[in-house]
Amino acid sequence: MRAQKYLLLIVGPTAVGKTDCCIRLAKKFEADIFSCDSRQFYRELSIGTAKPSDAELRAVPHHFINNKSIAENYTVAQFESEMLDALDAYFKQKDFAILTGGSGLFAKAISHGFDPIPDIPESVRESLIEEYEKKGLSSLLDNLRELDPETYARIDQSNTQRVIRALEVSKFSGKPFSAWQKGEAKKRPFEIIKIGLDRPREILYERINSRVDQMIEQGLESEVRSVLHFRNKNALQTVAYKEFFDYFDGKLPFNETVNLIKQNTRRYAKRQLTWFKNQDDFQWFQADEEDKIEEFIKNSL
């Protein structure tokens, strides 16, 4: 048995095929799968988050899926602490683990770590919420672009909560939110093998459109209705959920809502790729290059 412990970090845009790849590799290397997908933590959200199916969850042990409620406020810092504790316990039994997801900040929390962000006075957030209510999201985005162009370029610009978070840190601390994420990488008690998955853009977009159609058939509208009373929670300020709020409010017809989900998901995938490809230590593969991925992992051990 190897003394060294290995964490295989597999990232990529939504719908690229991370789940299939990770299950295959988990079986090959006798590993459990840990999720760093910031939406799959929540028990109430399944269809719109494209969680692994029940059969996939049974095929390989999964962790950090369905472990939180959207009623909770769950931060990246909490995730980092809980995930490192879980991996510490896991590596006492096994040598190889897989961490996967499309949430860049959550992946980086484990691979790199963050400098501790200072506590932000509630008054700073309240002033930003007031600006949002008076002037709209575009005003906040203009402000963020001026204060922190790096975060502006890679953030989900339709996620009001994340925009406000980046702004409140930038305003209160006096330095860009992105600067708090550039400290020296924290030493981890395991080696990290970093892999990025991609597909040709037209194929990825076809997969996204097909996935959204499948979500609609599976009952996405009903799922969103079931959590409508949580609509102001950060977990729901995200693609495939927030678009339905305007539909329920009578602001959008159903067909336009579905098309908007597809459009916003494609844009989100593009931002995911931009984020991860700016992290220059990932080895990139096409998602169907199974043999090359396995060879790279074996050579990295």
What is the tens place of the pLDDT at every residue in 259-292? 999 999 999 999 899 889 887 689 999 999 999 9
**Tally: H helices and E strands in the chain:** 13, 6
Of 72-81, 109-118, 185-194, which gets the smallest average pLDDT? Answer: 109-118
- Is 190 a residue whose pLDDT tops 80? yes
Q: How far is Cα of residue 271 from the mean position of the Cα atoms in its chain?
A: 11
Q: Are strands 191-198 and 62-63 parallel, antiparallel or unpaired?
A: unpaired
Q: What is the pLDDT, as a whole number, of residue 183? A: 63
Interatomic CA distance for residues 192 and 197, integer angstroms: 16
What is the tens place of the pLDDT at every residue in 81-96? 999 999 999 999 999 9
Residue 182 confidence class, pLDDT cut points 50, 70, 90: low
CATH topology classification for 6-114+183-300: Rossmann fold (3.40.50)
Residue 74 confidence class, pLDDT cut points 50, 70, 90: confident
Section 296-300 average pLDDT: 95
* Common-topology check for domains 6-114+183-300 and 122-181: no
- Is 65 a residue whose pLDDT tops 60? yes
- Is 104 a residue whose pLDDT tops 60? yes
- Is 1 a residue whose pLDDT tops 70? no
Interatomic CA distance for residues 301 and 3, integer angstroms: 11
Q: Where are the domains of the chain?
A: 6-114+183-300, 122-181
Q: Report which of residues 125 and 152 the model is more confident about.
A: 152
Burial of residue 102 (number of CB atoms within 10 Å: 0-12, 13-18, 19+): buried
| Burial call 141-176: b when 16+ CB within 10 Å, e when fewer | bebbeebbeebbebbbbbbbebbbbbbbbbbbeeeb
- Is 216 a residue whose pLDDT tops 90? yes
In this prediction the pTM is: 0.83
Q: What is the pLDDT, as a whole number, of residue 51? A: 96
CATH topology classification for 122-181: Histone, subunit A (1.10.20)
For the chain, what is the mean pLDDT? 92
Section 15-34 average pLDDT: 97
